Amino acid sequence: FELPNVELPVASADPGLGQLLAHRAQAQLAENSTAFTLRDRARHWLRNNLQGDEALGARLAKAMHLSERSLRRQLAEQDTSVRALVDDARRERAIALMERGTVNLDAIAEELGYGNASAFGRAFRRWTGQTPSAFLDRQRSSE
């Protein structure tokens, strides 16, 4: 087609249908833009980028296209924090690794950004009420 023809009206156009479709498209766009809160987007990013602990808040803020201060403020408005989201992501990842059979606690601790296995063990006990070893024993006995 030629570019000047783009501006010509369509002979069989239905203005009412066009208006209805435009309205539905606008509604869908509005719904999609609010469907995922900052908390949801941050959780998703953390699940995929949890390696290490250095500057995790700064990296998350950059990924969310916010300053660290704005990130903290907006998360507080959603009743959460960077620390809480990181803690949740670490818990989910630790349990997934242990359920999958990764039993080297030093490797899990390192992957999750803990300084050593005992720091990881304390966090795991806080999350689950049991030690990593007890969790693994339960996993083995249920198989």
Higher-confidence residue: 51 or 75?
A: 75
- pTM for this entry: 0.71
Q: Where does the pLDDT of residue 1 fall: very low under 50, low under 70, confident under 90, or very high at 90 and above?
A: low
Domain spanning 38-142, CATH class: mainly alpha
User: Position 104: which residue type?
Assistant: N
Domain positions in the chain? 38-142
Tens digits of per-residue pLDDT, 8-59?
778 888 888 888 887 787 777 666 655 689 999 999 999 988 876 678 899 9
